Structures are given as C-alpha cells and as structure tokens.
Amino acid sequence: MSTRTGVGTKELRRANLRAILQTVHTHGPTTRAELTKQLGLNRSTIGGLTGELQALALVSEETAAVGGRSGRPSHLVVPREDNVVVAVDLGVDRIAVALVGLGGEVFQRRHRSHQRGEHDVDHVVDAVAQMVEDVLTTGADRRYLGIGVSVPGAVRARDGLVRFAPNLGWVEEPFTELLEKRLGMHVSTGNDANLGVLAERLRGAAAGYSDVVYLSASVGIGGGFLVGGRPLTGASGYAGEVGHLQVDSVGPVCRCGAVGCWETKVGENVLLRSAGRLSGGGPEAVAEVIAAARSGEVRAADAVADVADWCGVGIRAIINLFNPQIVVLGGCLAQVWRAAEDRVNEAMSRSVMMSPREDVLIRAAQLDIESSLLGAAELAFAPVLDDPQAVLQAG
C-alpha cells in the first residue's frame, strides 16, 4: 500500500517521526496540539508517533497546563537530553570539545589552546582523543549517538579525508580515519564554515531563513551556504572556499598561488600588519586595533577602514553569486562589521547588485566562536534525526 504520491507507508511513517524529532530538537518541548497543527496530522496519529519515539527513548512526555483554558491539559513532547553527542571544533589556535544533548543543551566543555601554524596530524589526533575521552567519562547513564568534528579546511564528504587545511599545514591527511581508530568509535567530519551555517540557521542569527551565507575569517576565510534550506557542499564537499575569490587583479600573491584573493585583503593578520602590529594575535589583537582606531590612532583607523572596504567588495560578490536572504559574519569579519558597518555598506553599494542592498540582511554570528562547535554536534546528530530508528544501532 502506498500514498497517492507514491511514498510507501513505512517511508511516510519515518518521515513523520523525523519531523517530530527534528521539531523538538530544534524548538524544545512542544505540545501534541502544536505538533498536530504544524505537521497537519490528526491527534491519534501524533499520539502513535510520539509513543514510538518514547519507546526509542528519544523523547518523554509531560503534562502541560494550559493557562486560562478549560478541558484536558496538553501533552508536552520533550527531547531526552540523555541522548548525547560529542562535538569537536579543531581551530587554528585551539581545540574545543563539548558534550551536547538532544535539544541542543551543552553539558560539558573543554578547551585547549595551541600555537598557530603547522601541526603534525598524529599529535592533533592524540590531543583530540584525550579530550573526547575526558568528556565521555563525565556522562553516566547517557546514550552516545556519535562524534562530530569541525575542521578549518576542505573535507572530502565520502570519508572525511582532509584534502587541504593550510592553517594546520595539512594536505591529504586521513584525520577522520586516524581518530576513529584511536577512539574505536565512528567519527563524522565537516568543514568549519559548512557546519557554522547549519548552527546559525538552527539556533543563531539565521533562524527562520532558508537561503543563507555564513562567512567567517581568522587567518583565512571560510564560507558556508544554504540554498533553499539545503547545504551547498559541491560534488566532493569542497564548495565554499570563498577566501580564494579574486577581488584584485593586481593584488598580492596568495599562498594558494593565485593573485588578489579575498583573504589577502581581509582577515586577522592583514588587519594587524596594516595597523603596525605583529601577526598571530587572534581576536583579542583585532579588538585592540579596533579600540585604538576609535581612540584616534590614525594607522589603526586606516587599517580598519581598508579591511572594511575589502569586506564590502567580497560580500557584494557573494551576494551577486548566491542571492541570499541573509549573510551571517563570524570571526574577524564580524568584528570589522560591528566597528565599521557604514564603511562596509558603502563598499557593497559601489556597483549595482542583482539583489538590492536593502533586500539582504547582514548580521554578526549570534553563536560567535561556538557556531562551528554546535554545527559539529548537528553533524553527529544527523543520522538519528534523519531516521530515528537508527538510534537502535547508535546506542
């Protein structure tokens, strides 16, 4: 038996279970009445589906008092936070690890700083594994659904091989495979910007939007894109390398070998060197330059203005390419945007765009430095959110 659309009964039930679980995971405790309205199903069907999710130990039900109304109180469907994943954000200057429950609450966090520059992959795997094992020991009576890792580089979709991570000095490194062997657990790995856009759309500045650009800069620039609510990753997972978009045909030679790439014009070290500071200071050093510019230091002010101009040039090109509803800025881009919004807007408006400037929202990342970390958690949750029955294998 199948529906008129040709979708089988089993697949339809799976889709409905998925819709309920994703709703409570994203929005938190939700009444059966609200689920009935949102999903267009009758109350008995919703009751049967939530009962199945309870049997899978993915949700629980509580009685919710409805203020000012007579009749029976509504049943509240609540995500069970004892279903957890381990999220890892491997950054250019730190490793962050967190234990995240279904519903998005973070229970444990660990941070370990390291020097910027090249790092031996085996040493990184060992450091990450130690931190993961540490947080795993903190969770009694919890069901672990997976491990998700964010990496600042191009990650091959089919096996998690890190094709190119210049800020770590990696080329063709089997990071995911090595970490899986070290931990004896399945690991899912993704590009930091691709994961950042997922988190900002789910719980941050882009909530409610389906065509989203996420741009974040530290040493380089990463881009993550949602088109119609779906990630744009490319055939092998390498889409989004916007830092190597040419913005100046006579500009400096980039480390990739091309001339005038966007990341040669914006980013932490570009701003710091232009302001007469040493490179490598990170967000704190960028904040110091911005504060000096506000206090009247001419060289710092000129550096902020120049980077803001090039921010606008690059963002304009990306808006023309993707026609997004919203652009979310993270890292150094967010810092410069907050400090020189008018200057960025002016640079964006110097040539006609396919989308008028007023039709595109630009916001700083709401989740700040945790965008990619929480995106890594979503990567780990994805198999169970897509097919709740998969929890039987994951657990």
pLDDT of 395 higher than 80: no
Q: Distance between CA 208 and CA 28 in Å, rounded? A: 15
pLDDT tens string 47-75: 999 999 999 999 999 886 555 455 566 78
Query: What whole-number percentage of the chain has pLDDT above 90?
Result: 73
DSSP state, 233?
Answer: -
* Mean pLDDT lowest among 4-18, 93-107, 133-147, 307-321: 4-18
Q: Which helix (H) or strand (E) holds 76?
A: strand 74-79
Return the percentage of the chain with pLDDT > 70, whole number: 93
pTM of this structure: 0.90
Name the nearest CA neighbour of 360 among 213, 208, 194: 213
The answer to whether 206 and 215 have CB atoms below 8 angstroms apart is no
Query: What average pLDDT does range 112-118 have in this prediction?
Result: 85
Helix (H) / strand (E) element for 84: namely strand 83-90
pLDDT at 236: 86
- The yes-or-no verdict on residue 286 having pLDDT over 70 is yes
Structure confidence at residue 1 (pLDDT): 39
Model confidence at 2, pLDDT cuts 50, 70, 90, reads very low
Res. 116 pLDDT band, cuts 50 70 90: confident
In this prediction, residue 167 carries a pLDDT of 84
The answer on pLDDT for 107 being more than 80 is yes
pLDDT by residue (tens digit) across 165-180? 888 999 999 999 999 9
